[in-house]
Amino acid sequence: MAESLTAAMTILRQNKLKITKQRHALLEFLLTNQAHYTDVVTVDAYMRTEFPGMSHNTVYRNLKEFEEVGIVEQNTEQERTRVKYQCDFHHQHHHHFICQNCGKVIELQMCPMDFFTAQLPDCKITGHSFELYGICGTCQAAGVKETTLVKN
């Protein structure tokens, strides 16, 4: 965890963002929960508990800045915005499997874009988003069969 925290702080410095107590605490919270996406409302509530004078705008602005510099990944599902600590600073373009029972996030090692690019020879693809949803092996072993949306 210390290595990841150091890497994130280096990225902040490289992007001329100050390392405040609040940003440090936010990074630690995200690192502690890095195996799952966490609802932004939950992050906001945690930060405002730790720093009672902190505004909602400050929490959301910091998360946006973290996303812009590649420290945080964002996911929006059913109008809920969720964030998680970046899986891999060296390969920021990647995709995920997300367990709909426990919320565990597993990084996928390949991108399916070559498959789609071949089917669209006359088109210029300017971006994409790709995630798989289902039940992870641990949850299946515990007897979970149906998919339900995780409430983080």
User: Is residue 123 annotated as involved in ligand binding?
Assistant: no
Q: Which of 23-37, 65-79, 135-149 has the highest mean pLDDT?
A: 23-37
Establish whether 24 is an annotated binding residue: no
Q: pLDDT tens digits, residue range 71-92?
A: 888 877 777 888 887 755 555 5
State whether the Cα torsion 51-55-58-61 is positive or negative.
positive
Q: Is 93 annotated as a binding residue?
A: yes
Establish whether 56 is an annotated binding residue. no
Domains of the chain (ranges plus CATH)? 2-85 (1.10.10.10), 95-141 (3.30.1490.190)
What is the model's pLDDT at position 85? 78
The answer to whether the predicted template modeling score (pTM) of the entire model surpasses 0.75 is no
| Residue 99 labeled ligand binder | yes
Name the residue with higher pLDDT: 104 or 15.
15
Q: Does 24 have pLDDT greater than 60?
A: yes
Q: Residue 151's pLDDT band (boundaries 50, 70, 90)? A: very low
128 is in an annotated binding site: yes
> CB neighbours of 76 closer than 8 A, spacing ≥ 6?
82
What CA–CA distances, in Å, run from 82 to 76, 98, 106, 114?
6, 12, 15, 28
